[in-house]
A and B are shown apart, each in its own frame.
Chain A
Amino acid sequence: MSLTLARLGAIASGFSSGLLPSSWVLMEPSSVSVTGTSASIIGGGEVTFSTISSIFVNGVFTADFPNYIMVLKASKASGQTGINIEFSASGVANADSSSYKSQKLAGGDSTLTGSSLDDDHANFSRIGTSETTTFTNIYGPHLNQHTSMISVCHSGNPTITAPFLTQFASTHIVAAQYDGVRIWSDPGMSGTVKFYGIGGTT
């Protein structure tokens, strides 16, 4: 199992600060590309994007880690809708029919609603004029078997200016080694996304 430069840097940083080597390591994408205005990699791994409808983040899943945490912050100028994800390898997204199985739980005020989705993508977040923060556990994307996700999304609902909690559980059943994701929604999405590797060799 090889070590990436990002991982070596994190381990060195852990030693220099007197802490044990941490196995929560910010992954640096090999590249990003968007449909829309722009995206760039900053701060050793954080990706910032502006007024896009989709973004490929490549090279964030490697053999160094079995599992990952993705942190997405996003907003748009008007309206609200879902944010979707597909897993990708070498910049090509897998969008096989009915290969993403998702369960959603949405909570707003005193109401809970459930719904399921069987599609060529997974829905994992929401976006509106208030910033959405979504914390996603991603299990085994680079292992040669299925990939599962659990997402917790907090958003401000633009129509009632109230907090809104949404959770998603998803499984992508096409077994392959994915190194990235395609995240997409309606045009006009701006924000940041980061990936952390967890587990793996220290």
Chain B
Amino acid sequence: MAGMTVITPTSITNTGGSASIQTDGGVIGTGGVTSISLNGVFSATYKNYYITAINETVTGGEQLEFRLRASGTDDTGNNYGWNYLSVNSTSIAVERLLSQSYFRMANTGSDKGANNNFIFSPYLAKQTVYASQNSRGSNQPRLHHNVGVHSQELSYDGITFFYATGSMDYFLVYVHGMEE
């Protein structure tokens, strides 16, 4: 992997709690945030991206999802499909979900945790592919992997992280452009 450069969003929006852009380019959400949208993080400068996120104190939620967005609007169509691997103690499960309206980034439960996410070619007019790893922590430690493909060959410049139900009291995310 070549070097990586943190990309500061051109703007953000959130629902629930509060969110802000840090001086180091990271975006932090606190106080019961349910969604955070990052605009202007994907561009022609980089083909591929690496995202890290730390979550803590999730209330009423289980799965952290994400959608691609363009010019400030999420793609909410059923254009997302992914496969996951979940390891919980001695149980190992896999499942494929097709024609969904979002990707799954992490299974957080109500725990402390963190995850990383490689996103390939979101800004190119090609299908966007992702692969994520997730460490779910404090009560029931779990390891999760997700890989998925977005069916539309369109260009996206942003991303929205959200819980369908639930909220977080702490969410710190960085988007890195991966140098070729």
Give the B-binding residues of A (Cβ under 8 A). Answer: 1, 14, 19-24, 66-67, 101-105, 112-118, 137, 139-140, 143, 145-146, 148-150, 167-171, 173, 198-202
Report how far A149 CA is from B113 CA in the complex, Å.
Answer: 9
Given A145-B170, A201-B23: A23 and B5 interface contact (C-beta under 8 Å) = yes
Expressed in whole angstroms, the Cα–Cα distance for A103 and B113 within the complex equals 12
Q: A171-B138, A173-B137 are in contact. Are A198 and B52 (CB under 8 A)?
A: yes
Q: Which residues on the A side are within 8 Å of B116 (C-beta)?
A: 137, 150
Q: Is B136 located at the chain interface by the 8 A CB criterion?
A: yes
Cα of A18 to Cα of B137 in the assembled complex, Å = 41
List the interface of chain B (C-beta within 8 A of A).
Answer: 1, 3-6, 23-26, 52, 54, 56, 87-92, 111-116, 133-144, 170, 172, 174, 176, 179
Measured in the bound complex, the distance between the Cα atoms of B177 and A24 in whole Å is 11
- Having A116-B141, A150-B114, A171-B138, one finds 7 other A-B pairs with CB under 8 Å, namely A24-B4, A114-B92, A137-B116, A139-B52, A139-B114, A148-B113, A169-B142
Interface centre among A104, A116, A168 (most CB of B within 10 A): A116
- Give 24 pairs: A residue, B residue, CB < 8 Å, sorted on A: A20-B179, A23-B6, A24-B3, A66-B172, A101-B138, A103-B135, A103-B142, A104-B87, A114-B91, A116-B141, A139-B52, A139-B135, A140-B172, A146-B56, A149-B135, A150-B133, A167-B87, A167-B143, A170-B137, A171-B111, A171-B114, A171-B138, A198-B4, A200-B6
Given the complex of chains A and B, what is the CA–CA distance between A140 and B138 in angstroms?
15
What is the predominant secondary structure among interface residues of chain A facing chain B?
strand
Which of B24, B89, B90, B135 is the one whose CB lies under 8 Å from A171? B135
Q: How far is the CA of A22 from the CA of B133 in the complex (A)?
A: 23
Which residues on the A side are within 8 Å of B136 (C-beta)?
A: 103, 169, 171
Specify which of A14, A167, A171 lies most central, judged by the most chain B CB atoms within 10 Å of its CB.
A171
* Residues in chain A near residue B142, CB distance under 8 A: 103, 169
Chain B residues with CB under 8 Å of A104's CB are 87, 143
* Contact residue among A23, A66, A115, A170 (Cβ-Cβ distance under 8 Å from B89): A115
A101 cross-chain contacts in B, Cβ below 8 A: 137-139, 141
A200 proximity list for chain B (CB < 8 A): 6, 24
Inter-chain CA distance A170–B140, complex, in Å, is 10
Q: Are A171 and B141 in contact (CB under 8 A)?
A: yes
The residue on B at minimum CB distance from A102 is B141
Q: Chain A nearest CB: distance from B49 CB in Å? A: 13
Asked if B54 contacts A19 (CB within 8 A), the reply is no
Given contacts A22-B3, A114-B88, A150-B116, contact A145 B56 (CB under 8 A): yes
Q: Which of B4, B135, B140, B179 contacts A148 (CB 8 A)?
A: B135
Q: Which residue of B lies closest to A22 (CB)?
A: B3
Give the residue name and chain of the A residue nearest to B174 (CB).
A199
Assembly CA distance A117 to B92 (angstroms): 16
Residues of A within 8 A of B26 (CB): 66, 199
Contact of B138 among A149, A173, A198, A202 (CB under 8 A): A173
Please judge, given known A-B contacts A114-B91, A150-B135, whether A67 and B52 are in contact too, CB under 8 Å. yes
If A198-B176, A202-B6 touch, whether A1 touches B135 (CB-CB below 8 Å) is no
Q: How far is the CA of A103 from the CA of B56 in the complex (A)?
A: 18
Closest to A199 in B: B174
The CA of A24 and the CA of B52, in the complex, are separated in Å by 13
What's the Cα separation between A190 and B6 when bound, in Å? 34
Please determine whether B25 and A173 come into contact, CB atoms closer than 8 angstroms: no
